[in-house]
């Protein structure tokens, strides 16, 4: 469980948010939009991953160009994955492009051990908002977060969009490539919360976009849903209590 101990150019569309807390400044950027993909079938590149490689304290998630795999970067280290013969393999992000990408540069994380298990996404969102207020983080802008926990059950996928298929749905995105359910696994989750980016980098039914890597670093991908997180540590930008 290495991560549990070590957590730590081109004319593309770029949106930047900066948030000043009493502890630090963090920056969130996003490239591309989900609605362009689902409504218009646009899976072309919106970001060159080489352009973010020099970013310090980099955290990022998204989908590769052509919706051929999932991007996950935690503190500059890539856990990005693609389908290979119906299996999942880790891939390098060098010389790659992304259809959708959300990034954050976070110098320091405030860490909070939750006293109770988190049952579902709604419960997780409640905790994020509680501790964001404690950290004096404005909810007017996107908030990056990290979770370390043991998942009772976690549904996941690694997208592998068929070439030439122009009919996009959320369900097809989840089932186009390897997918399944993890049970009783330690995981590290990187996510971004926002209640004003539906159709941009969150789907319309949720305020969060999350990717995960298992504690033993054998699997990573897009987190679709979960039922029960226990032994939860929530991390938000800043120093605890600030």
Listed by start position, the domains of the chain span 2-105, 109-237
Q: Tell me what pLDDT residue 239 has.
A: 66
Q: Tell me what pLDDT residue 15 has.
A: 44
pTM: 0.88
**pLDDT higher than threshold 70 for residue 8:** no
Residue 21 structure tokens = 């807390």
Task: Express each pLDDT in 157-181 by its tens digit.
Answer: 999 998 887 788 878 888 889 999 9
**Domain range 2-105, CATH architecture:** 2-Layer Sandwich (3.30)
> What is the rounded CA–CA span in Å between residue 150 and residue 35?
32
Task: Express each pLDDT in 223-238 by its tens digit.
Answer: 999 999 999 999 999 8
Q: Which fold has domain 109-237?
A: 60s Ribosomal Protein L30; Chain: A; (3.30.1330)
Residue 164 structure tokens = 């030439």
**pLDDT higher than threshold 70 for residue 141:** yes
The 3 state secondary structure assigned to 55-110 is: CCCEEEEEEEHHHECEEEEECCEECCEEEECCEEEECCCCCCEEEEEEEEECCCEE
Residue 66 structure tokens = 């052509």
Average pLDDT, the chain: 87
Long-range contact set of residues 11-15: C-beta below 8 Å, sequence gap at least 24: 12/45, 12/46, 12/47, 12/48, 13/46, 14/47
User: Helices then strands (H, E): number in the chain?
Assistant: 4, 15
> What is the rounded CA–CA span in Å between residue 98 and residue 117?
34
Q: Do 109-237 and 2-105 fall under one CATH topology?
A: yes
């Amino acid at each position: 469980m290495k991560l549990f101990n070590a957590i730590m150019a081109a004319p593309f569309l770029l949106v930047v948010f900066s948030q000043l807390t009493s502890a630090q400044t963090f920056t969130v950027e996003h490239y591309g939009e989900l609605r362009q993909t689902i409504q218009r079938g646009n899976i072309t590149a919106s970001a060159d991953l080489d352009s973010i490689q020099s970013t310090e304290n980099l955290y990022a998630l998204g989908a590769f160009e052509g919706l051929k795999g999932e991007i996950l970067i935690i503190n500059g280290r890539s856990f990005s994955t693609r389908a290979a013969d119906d299996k999942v393999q880790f891939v390098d992000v060098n010389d790659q492009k992304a259809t959708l990408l959300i990034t954050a540069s976070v110098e320091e994380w405030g860490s909070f051990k939750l006293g109770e298990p988190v049952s579902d996404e709604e419960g997780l969102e409640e905790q994020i908002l509680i501790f964001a207020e404690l950290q004096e983080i404005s909810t007017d802008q996107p908030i990056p977060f990290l979770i370390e926990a043991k998942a009772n059950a976690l549904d996941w996928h690694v997208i592998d969009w068929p070439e030439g298929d122009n009919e996009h749905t959320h369900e097809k995105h989840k089932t186009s490539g390897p997918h399944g359910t993890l049970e009783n696994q330690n995981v590290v989750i990187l996510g971004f919360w926002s209640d004003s980016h539906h159709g941009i980098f969150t789907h319309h039914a949720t305020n969060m976009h999350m990717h995960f890597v298992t504690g033993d670093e054998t699997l990573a991908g897009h987190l679709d849903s979960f039922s029960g997180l226990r032994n939860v540590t929530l991390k938000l930008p800043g120093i605890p209590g600030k």
